[in-house]
Amino acid sequence: MVLSLTLVCLVCSAVLGCVYAVTAAPIKAAEDAKTTASIARVLPAFEGQPSKESVSVDGVDYTYYRAPGAGYAVISTVVGFGGPLTLMVGIGEDGLVCNTVVLSHSETPGLGAKCTSDTHFIDQFKGWDPAQKSLSVRKDGGEVDAITASTITSRAYSAAISQAYVVFKKLTENE
Amino acid sequence: MSKIGLITKGFLKENPTFVLVLGMCPTLATTTSAMNGLEMGLATMFVLILSNIVISLIAPVVPDKVHIPVYIVVIATFVTVLQLLMQAYVPDVYETLGLFIPLIVVNCIVLGRAEAFACKNSVGDSALDGIGIGLGFTASLTVIGIVREILGSGSIFGWKFITGDGVLAFVMAPGAFLVLGYLMVLFNKLAKR
């Protein structure tokens, strides 16, 4: 009884080990390709490979990618309506938001989930200057046009961008 | 039972979704669109066929007292293999289905077929049973997905035929229960004839 269970577990672990060894490289390649594609979307064209770094702001660690000559792509996570909302926010060296892309979310399909596809909403942040224009929705007295019926998601999206901007400020003041 | 019967029973007599009512968690959660339903069905079928084959092979030598742990280990292994393969070669699909791929381990259909069929039948028959039940599950999930996608997003397999949104409730959980319930009624009414 013990022997057969042990044997089955051993064989299964061996199989898993082999599959893992074979798939580890393609998995990493797929993840890297996704990150590179996201960085290319949120920052202006740049040369070379962006470097991955991290920084601590107010006790929270943020991962960001630095593309020399183009700016920073900061990964920023906030709480949305359905769970964590993770954005990659590209901020140019001039301090303007270049573009944003949603990395993962659990917003309501058809409502908050539009934050990944609603171009009117996403494109308003292109060239946004967080130092001049308040990053909160109009309902809260800011200047962000919220997605219809998804104020909480829009609020979270804006908060993620402000958070990324705080990280950007910290990164640039050190230099 | 004939070889063809082993495959066709998964669609009608032992349809896992509408007759056996097994595996409801992925059925309700992943059928937001036809494509998602189809992918989830195929993923489950992959695990089902392989676990059926292996379990029918090892069943005679596995002591009765530990047969459930052994089956679970076998199933979990195939699910993890599937997970790694999907992550490596179809990362987009993996991301859509997310948590529901690891959850195939506890899908009642897989352990159910191991217990009810694979451990008592030959390798060939078990493989056919896996294909039959797997295809039945895939077909059911795809049908639910198609109905929910038409009503909820106004599209079929991503091809949109209306502008704007459909009835959003059908993309969310309540719509899943409604569609499943009505399809079950329809299925059983037609099957009784």
Which residues does chain A have within 8 Å of residue B172's beta carbon, measured at their own beta carbons? 108-110
d(CA B15, CA B11): 5
Contact A101, A137 (CB under 8 A): no
Residues of B in contact with A148 (CB under 8 A): none
Percent of chain A past pLDDT 90, that is, above it, reads 37
In this prediction, residues B26-30 reach a mean pLDDT of 88
Q: Return the residue matching tokens 């601590």.
A: A56
DSSP letters, chain A, are: -HHHHHHHHHHHHHHHHHHHHHHHHHHHHHHHHHHHHHHHHHS---SSPPEEEEEEETTEEEEEEEETTTEEEEEEEEE-SSSEEEEEEEEETTS-EEEEEEEE--PPTTTGGGGGT-HHHHHTTTT--TTTS--SBGGGTSSB-PPTT-HHHHHHHHHHHHHHHHHHHHHHHT-
Higher confidence at residue B46 or residue B2?
Answer: B46
- A12 and chain B in contact, CB less than 8 A: yes
**What's the pLDDT at A132?**
85
| CA separation for the pair A24, A29 (Å, rounded) | 9
Query: Where are the extended beta strands (E) located within chain B?
Result: 155-156, 159-160
pLDDT in tens, A120-146: 899 999 888 888 888 888 888 888 898
Nearest to A15 among B61, B65, B77 (CB): B77
User: Do B73 and A9 make contact, defined as CB atoms within 8 angstroms?
Assistant: yes
Residue type, A113: A
- Is the model's pLDDT at B164 over the cut of 80? no
Considering chain B, what is the average pLDDT of its residues? 89
By Cβ distance, the residue of A1, A27, A111 closest to B88 is A27
Q: What are phi and psi of B63, to 5 degrees?
A: -60, 145
CB contact (8 A) between residue A15 and residue B81: yes
Residue A16 C-alpha, separation from nearest chain B C-alpha, in angstroms: 7
Q: What is the mean pLDDT of residues A3-32?
A: 92
- Confirm or reject contact between A26 and chain B (CB < 8 A): yes
* pLDDT tens figures, B63-73: 888 889 999 99
For residue A72, what are the β-bridge partners? A66, A91
- Residues of chain B positioned with their CB less than 8 A from the CB of A4: 61-63, 66, 70
Q: Does A149 touch chain B (CB under 8 A)?
A: no
Looking at residue B1, its pLDDT comes to: 60
Cα–Cα distance measured from residue A67 to residue A168, given in angstroms and rounded to the nearest whole number: 13
A56 DSSP β-pair partners: A61
pLDDT (0 to 100) of residue B42: 94
For the ranges A17-21, A49-53, A91-95, B16-20, the maximum mean pLDDT occurs at A17-21
Question: In 10 A of CB A123, how many CB atoms?
Answer: 11
User: Residue A109 is nearest to which of B61, B62, B171, comparing CB atoms?
Assistant: B171
A148 inside 8 A of chain B by CB: no
Strands B159-160, B155-156: parallel, antiparallel or unpaired by DSSP?
antiparallel
Whether residue B182 is predicted with pLDDT greater than 80 in this model: the reply is: yes
In the prediction, which pLDDT does B137 show? 94
pLDDT per residue over B103-131, tens digit each? 899 888 999 999 888 988 899 999 999 99
Residue B179 has pLDDT above 80, yes or no: yes
**What was the ipTM of the complex prediction?**
0.77
Contact state of B168 with A109 under an 8 Å Cβ cutoff: yes
Cα–Cα distance measured from residue B171 to residue B149, given in angstroms and rounded to the nearest whole number: 7
Strand-pairing partners, residue A99, are A90
CA distance B59 to chain A (A): 11
Q: What are the tens digits of pLDDT across the range B133-144?
A: 999 999 999 999
Confidence of residue A173 (pLDDT cuts 50, 70, 90): confident
Q: Which three-class secondary structure string do you get for B121-171?
A: CCHHHHHHHHHHHHHHHHHHHHHHHHHHHHHHHCEECCEECCCCCCCHHHC
Report pLDDT for A58. 83
The answer to whether the beta carbons of residues A74 and A158 sit under 8 Å apart is no
The predicted structure's pLDDT at residue A135? 86
Residue B54 has pLDDT above 90, yes or no: yes
Q: Which of A28-37, B1-10, B167-176 has the lowest mean pLDDT?
A: B1-10
Q: Which of A22, A23, A102, A108 to mutate to test the interface with B (most CBs of B within 10 A)?
A: A23
Q: Which of A47-51, A58-62, B80-84, B103-107 has the highest mean pLDDT?
A: B80-84
pLDDT of residue B32: 86
Q: What is the DSSP letter of B62?
A: S
Contact B77 A110 (CB under 8 A): no
What are B183's strand-pairing partners?
none
Is residue A174 over pLDDT 70? no
Pairing verdict, β B155-156 and A71-79: unpaired
Q: What pLDDT is recorded for position B180?
A: 94
| A30 in contact with B, Cβ within 8 Å | yes
User: What integer is the mean pLDDT of A33-47?
Assistant: 86
Closest residue on chain B to A10 (Cα): B73
Chain length of chain A: 175
Task: Measure in Å the smallest separation between the Cα of B85 and chain A Cα atoms.
Answer: 7
- For the segment B23-49, the average pLDDT, to the nearest whole number, is 91
- Residue in chain A closest to B89 (alpha carbons) equals A26
Phi-psi region of A87 (alpha: psi -120 to 50; beta: other; left: phi over 0): beta
Tokens, residue A20 = 């893992």
How far apart are the C-alpha atoms of A90 and A43, rounded to whole Å?
5
| A26 chain-B contacts, CB cut-off 8 A | 88-89
Residue of B nearest to A26 (CA): B88
**A27–chain B Cβ distance below 8 A for any pair:** yes
- Tell me how far apart the terminal alpha carbons of chain B are, to the nearest angstrom: 22
